[in-house]
Structure 1
């Protein structure tokens, strides 16, 4: 949480409202965007520079070490460094994976750092980035998304990452053991040279369809398409795909594209925003009301029960 301690907040009366402090981002600094992983948080500040805090065991904070930040006094505010994204580079979009972080920079290119055991960083290897000196800044490569392609949105799961490109098409890389990449197989992408760039296929979202929003859960992915309808792929587990069955999508041929159904959000209803948790999703609809589906053991769907939907 970035408060200089390890105290849980919001679980007892009197901890919220005026009693909940602001996160100290530095003298005069404010935040314009945020992203969170499993145990870390990052923010784009009003200067378009990035700061991260929380767990750093895998380099997900991007400071060239594995030191946690924000759990002790004096680690936040002006003492919390900026993440070095390269000479003159700033961030416009952040995505938090479970143990990795990605950013779309001001030049439209993407960089990722943190845990890379399953190629979720997309660099053609399985080497972590950001956990040792000399791995960030100009030494941190851009993710190769294809000739002339840039990114407009990104999302991180536990072991995979997805991006919406400037042409509205989506690409995903990392682990696909449960179809979360949406390529009709279970092959890892991005762990060996020659698998990224033009060699990395687009996710087939249907004839003529493009994506405007992409999200990633632990093992599944979802997108809001250009027609404002939503599609999800990966494992069914707890109903997080929203298709009313127990079928995994995206791990076998013929499951994507026009064969991948839309999530039924109600008669005439479309989605304007989508958020994905570990095993559930929530959508803001065109009437500004909210619907959620998937895992509900702790009430995360907001329906007053623990029933999966």
Structure 2
């Protein structure tokens, strides 16, 4: 993980491990520092001393890890009081989710990125390092530290972000004010990011922008967009105005959109009547849908749970299994075993899911019927 200084005349220095009994399960890299989390829930950090989030160095310059005898057993653990579940290194700060699902952050804090209600630097991890308070009854599930800002997914799968926000709205609050430098900014006073009532499954903070993966498997990004880093087909900043968040926050274009006026030509389930591959024929091309995106096996399905969402993995099931749902009566169970109706779907070219396309194969149905099946 660090080799220290290289000898002056050829060869290479012996590998310097954080510790002989340190089994790393997570690595995180900031701009100029690195941290490792062990299988025992302990943390070590190294590289640039200041400004950084190393948490232990008592000097104002230099680095840790660029000279012999600084790594391995010589590199100290950070005493966070509890075992650590996750770490994330930002530009010049670091945050850790502890075993009790609380959060502690240290390092540079000029923009309130530590979320401690002030702007003072906290270079040391010690008994006086306070927890970052995100609200009463709140548990932190995942953390990401970015460029002078930080975001956390909470136990209800909502998202809170704090730190630098000027001038690009990277906190997703529809404004550019800094959050985290005043006591009233944090705790219950810190609002969640408006994701249009979609649960947040994953979040990553960049230098000046933030991206989240939501329950519908879409990616939504906000903040600086000068180089198209939000992936929405333009270079305008998103998130610095209130009207840009919530339902207005466009998904990142990761999948080819349907051509305007294109129609779904056919849908079939493998070679058998109850199980196999779910295939979609569209624009003369036949391919798998409702695949997790990793292996073909992920798309092999039983018909009544044929697809979590046609085209994506995160939606509702098309059919419910009558054997596992006693609320389904005989008539509904018969419907649950009926054929998949998916012909004559017309797409306008702006849809993210096939279920967003108009269904014209019968009475126009939208959403989920009481019987528990979706036709569109």
Q: Per the shorter chain, which TM-score range? A: 0.7 to 0.9
Measured in 1, the distance between the counterparts of 2:217 and 2:84 equals 26
2:112 aligned residue (119, 122, 130): 119
Structure number with greater Rg is: 2
Aligned-residue offset at 1:5: 2.2
Measured in 2, the distance between the counterparts of 1:108 and 1:236 equals 33
Match of 1:306 in 2: none
1:256 lines up with 2:245 in the alignment = yes
What is the aligned length?
257
How does 1:11-160 map onto structure 2 within 5 Å? Answer: 22-66=15-59, 68-86=63-81, 89-130=82-123, 135-160=124-149
Match of 1:235 in 2: 224
Contact 1:62–1:84 at 8 Å: present in 2 too? Answer: no
Contact 1:59–1:129 at 8 Å: present in 2 too? Answer: no
Bigger Cα displacement from structure 2, 22-31 vs 138-147: 22-31
1:224 lines up with 2:217 in the alignment = no
Contact 1:2–1:69 at 8 Å: present in 2 too? Answer: no
Higher relative contact order (CA 8 A, sep 6+): 1
Aligned-residue offset at 1:21: 6.5
Bigger Cα displacement from structure 2, 256-265 vs 56-65: 56-65
Q: CA 1:288/1:45 → structure 2, altered by over 3 Å: closer, same or farther?
A: same
Cα deviation, 1:206-241, whole Å, max 9, x if unaligned, reads 1x2011110011100000011211100001110100
Aligned-residue offset at 1:65: 2.2
Contact 2:80–2:127 at 8 Å: present in 1 too? Answer: yes
Aligned-residue offset at 1:247: 1.4
Cα deviation, 1:184-219, whole Å, max 9, x if unaligned, reads 00000001121100000000011x201111001110
What is the TM-score with the length of structure 2 in the denominator?
0.65
Measured in 2, the distance between the counterparts of 1:28 and 1:138 equals 25
1:166 aligned residue (132, 146, 155): 155
Q: CA 1:20/1:226 → structure 2, altered by over 3 Å: closer, same or farther?
A: farther
Any idea what SS the aligned residue of 1:28 has? coil
Contact 1:161–1:174 at 8 Å: present in 2 too? Answer: yes
Any idea what SS the aligned residue of 2:242 has? coil
Bigger Cα displacement from structure 2, 58-67 vs 43-52: 58-67
Match of 1:278 in 2: none
Poorly superposed stretches of 4+, deviation over 4 Å: 19-23
What is the TM-score with the length of structure 1 in the denominator?
0.78
Residue ranges of structure 1 left out of the alignment (5+ in a row): 8-14, 269-284, 290-309
Aligned-residue offset at 1:157: 1.3
Q: Please tell me the root mean square deviation across aligned C-alpha atoms, in Å.
A: 2.2
Contact 1:99–1:115 at 8 Å: present in 2 too? Answer: yes
Match of 1:179 in 2: 169
Contact 2:158–2:200 at 8 Å: present in 1 too? Answer: yes
Aligned-residue offset at 1:267: 4.3
